[in-house]
Amino acid sequence: MRAITAEGFKRPNDRPVPGAAPMLQWLAISSLVVDDTYQRPIRGEGERNVAKIAANFRWARFAPVVVAPVEGGMFAIIDGQHRTTAAALVGIETVPCQVVIPPASEQADAFKAINGSTTRMNRQTIHRAAVAAGDPEALAIGDACRCAGVEVLAYPVPTAKQAPGQTMSVATLAECLNLYGRDTLVTALQCVTETSNGEEPGLLVAPVIKALYDVLHYRKDWRDAGEALLGAFDEIDIAGQAEAARLEPKAKGISTAMVLTARLNDRLNRVPALTRKAA
């Protein structure tokens, strides 16, 4: 056995403000609610997780549910929706809870922090919680997508079942925004949504988005060409180019996005309206 010690660890530069100390108490499951603005419904893998917890239910494996008081004497679950549902499934009526007192806006942020760092969770759910918490990056991604007519899906949807203009590629959107800025991201997305490619479902996947913003970042004259750029993409079958890039034999370290970038560059370099503009 060894004691807990902070020796050898670097202390934070600024002393954090931890907020009000939480309370530990047993609460009736009937008094616990879920805020759908940042929590996800239980389905698919979540349903399987609940069934697994229920089938092997042990208090020794049950971490306290993190909750916050809300109106009407109820408590909103910040972390623990699955294990609480499993407890209800096996007939348990009360569960141990850690009651925290954050403002409503910070409940979503707490959900994002807890689940983003300790639980395997899809990026769409974390993004949804970040939007609810007012996270600047998440809001900026949402703003850029709205400008381009793109919907960031709240939950995973198979590519084949996505509607035109929908995407799950939150990490790629964040990468583009951070590396290349809002204008490049918006225009890259518009090359799909505002051209003949806009009716193609499942097209806004990571390799396509990466290739588009790489092309436009290094050719800002194309990015700023307006209708000339969109007109060029009206004549380019992005889905076909992406599939060809995926199937093309590649050297080690070469990704589909890199091959697609080269293919799009080649096509755009042969568009008179863009080459005249560059000259």
Task: Please state at what angle helix 136-148 crosses helix 182-193, rounded to 10 degrees.
Answer: 40
Q: Measure the CA angle with vertex 183, ends 177 and 188; round to 5°.
A: 80
Q: What is the pLDDT of residues 150-163, one digit of tens each?
A: 998 877 788 888 99
Q: What is the reported pLDDT for 117?
A: 46
pTM of the model: 0.60
Helices (H), 181-255: 182-193, 206-218, 220-223, 227-234, 238-247
Q: What stretch of H or E contains 97?
A: strand 94-99
Please give the pLDDT value at position 72.
83
The yes-or-no verdict on residue 234 having pLDDT over 90 is: yes
So what's the pLDDT on residue 118? 43
pLDDT confidence tier of residue 276, bands split at 50, 70 and 90: low
**Residues written for the chain:** 279
Q: How far apart are CA 259 and CA 208, in angstroms?
A: 10
238-270 burial, b at 16+ Cβ within 10 Å, e below that, comes to: beebbeebeeeeeeeeeebbbbbbbbbbebbee
At residue 249 the predicted structure's pLDDT band, cuts being 50, 70 and 90, is very high
Give the number of other Cβ atoms within 10 Å of residue 155's Cβ.
Answer: 14
Residue 247 confidence (pLDDT): 94
Domain extent listing, the chain: 23-132, 136-278
Reading across the β-sheet that carries 23-28, which strands appear in turn? 23-28, 94-99, 65-70, 74-79, 32-33
- Mean pLDDT across 241-250: 94
Topology of domain 23-132 in CATH is: 3.90.1530
Mean pLDDT on 61-88: 89
Query: Which of 13-27, 39-53, 167-181, 247-261 is predicted with the least confidence, judged by mean pLDDT?
Result: 13-27
Type and span of the H or E element at 71: none
pLDDT tens track for 75-123: 988 889 999 999 999 999 999 998 887 655 555 555 555 555 444 456 6
pLDDT for position 119: 45
Nearest to 165 by CA among 205, 191, 128, 193: 193
Among 181, 178, 179, 130, smallest CA distance to 154 is for: 130
Mean pLDDT of 148-177: 89
Average pLDDT for the chain:
85
76, 106 contact by CB (below 8 A): no
Lowest mean pLDDT among 29-33, 35-39, 76-80, 210-214: 35-39
Confidence of residue 217 (pLDDT cuts 50, 70, 90): very high
Q: What is the distance between the alpha carbons of residues 218 and 131, in angstroms, rounded to a whole number?
A: 30
